[in-house]
C-alpha cells in the first residue's frame, strides 16, 4: 500500500527530537544508533539539515534525514562528529523511517526532498556512508559510489 502521497516534509521542531530518537534507536543496532544527546547536538547546530517526514493528516513524525556540515574533503570520525558552520559538504548521518511505514516510498521521497533543498543552499555536495545493501537505493537517488569508507561504524 502506498502512503507516500499522504506524507509531508518539513524541518523538525525541538519538541520532536525525542520522537526522532525513538525512530533512530528502533532503526539501528545499538552500536550504530545516535544517542539523544547527539541528535540534540545536530538539531541545535544545524536545524535546517534535520528534515522530517510527517503523516499529513496527523503531523506525526515517521522518518527523518539528519546532517551536519564539514569542510573536510572526506568523511572521518572527526568531520562527522562536529558541525562546521562554514563547511560546504553536508554529511548525512542518518536516513531513518519508522518500521511501520517502510517500503512504501517514504525514504525515497524524503531523500529526494532533502537533496532538492540542499541544492538550493550553498553546499557543494552531500556525502554519506551506506551499507552495501542500500547502495542501489542511494544510486537510484543520484548518489555516486566513491569507494569503501575507512570509518568503522558499528560492528
Ligand atoms: C533504509 C530505509 C531508510 C528505507 O526506507 P523506506 O521508506 O522503506 O524506503 P523506500 O520505501 O523508499 O524504498 C525504496 C527502494 O529502496 C530499496 N530498499 C529499501 N529498503 C531496503 C532494504 N532494507 N534492503 C534493500 N533495499 C531496500 C528497495 O529497492 C525499495 O523499493 P521496493 O520497496 O519497491 O523494493 C529504512 O529501511 C530504514 O530506516 N532503515 C533503518 C535505518 C537505516 O539503515 N538507514 C540507512 C542508513 S545507510
Q: Is the pLDDT of residue 1 over 60?
A: no
Looking from the CA of residue 128, the nearest atom of ligand 1 is 48
pLDDT tens-digit readout, 75-88: 888 888 999 999 99
For residue 77, the CA-to-ligand 1 centroid distance in Å is 25
User: Residue whose CA is closest, atom 31 of ligand 1?
Assistant: 103
- Average of per-residue pLDDT across 45-51: 98
Domains of the chain: 4-140 (3.40.630.30)
Instruction: Show the DSSP H helices in 46-84 as ranges.
Output: 77-81
pLDDT tens-digit readout, 94-106: 999 999 999 999 9
pLDDT tens-digit readout, 30-41: 999 999 999 999
Q: Is the pLDDT of residue 42 over 60?
A: yes
Instruction: Show the DSSP H helices in 46-105 as ranges.
Output: 77-81
pLDDT tens-digit readout, 137-146: 999 999 999 9
Q: pLDDT at position 149, please?
A: 86
pTM above 0.85, yes or no: yes
Query: Could you give the 3-state DSSP secondary structure of residue 45?
Result: helix
Smallest Cα–Cα separation from 93: which of 138, 47, 130, 134?
130
Q: Is the pLDDT of residue 13 over 90?
A: yes
User: Residue whose CA is closest, atom 4 of ligand 1?
Assistant: 107
pLDDT band at 154 (very low <50, low <70, confident <90, very high): low
Q: Is the pLDDT of residue 129 over 60?
A: yes
Amino acid at each position: 500500500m502506498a502512503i507516500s502521497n499522504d506524507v509531508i516534509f518539513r524541518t523538525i521542531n525541538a519538541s520532536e527530537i525525542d520522537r526522532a530518537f525513538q525512530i533512530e534507536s528502533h532503526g539501528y543496532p545499538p552500536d550504530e544508533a545516535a544517542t539523544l544527546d547527539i541528535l540534540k547536538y545536530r538539531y541545535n547546530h544545524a536545524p535546517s539539515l534535520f528534515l522530517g517526514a510527517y503523516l499529513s493528516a496527523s503531523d506525526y513524525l515517521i522518518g527523518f534525514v539528519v546532517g551536519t556540515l564539514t569542510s573536510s574533503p572526506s568523511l572521518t570520525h572527526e568531520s562527522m562528529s562536529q558541525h562546521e558552520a562554514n563547511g560546504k559538504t553536508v554529511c548525512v548521518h542518518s536516513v531513518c523511517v519508522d518500521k511501520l511505514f517502510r517500503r512504501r516510498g517514504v525514504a525515497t521521497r524524503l531523500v529526494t526532498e532533502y537533496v532538492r533543498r540542499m541544492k538550493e543552499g550553498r553546499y557543494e555536495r552531500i556525502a554519506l556512508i551506506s551499507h552495501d545493501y542500500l547502495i542501489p537505493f542511494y544510486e537510484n537517488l543520484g548518489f555516486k559510489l566513491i569507494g569503501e569508507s575507512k570509518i568503522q561504524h558499528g560492528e
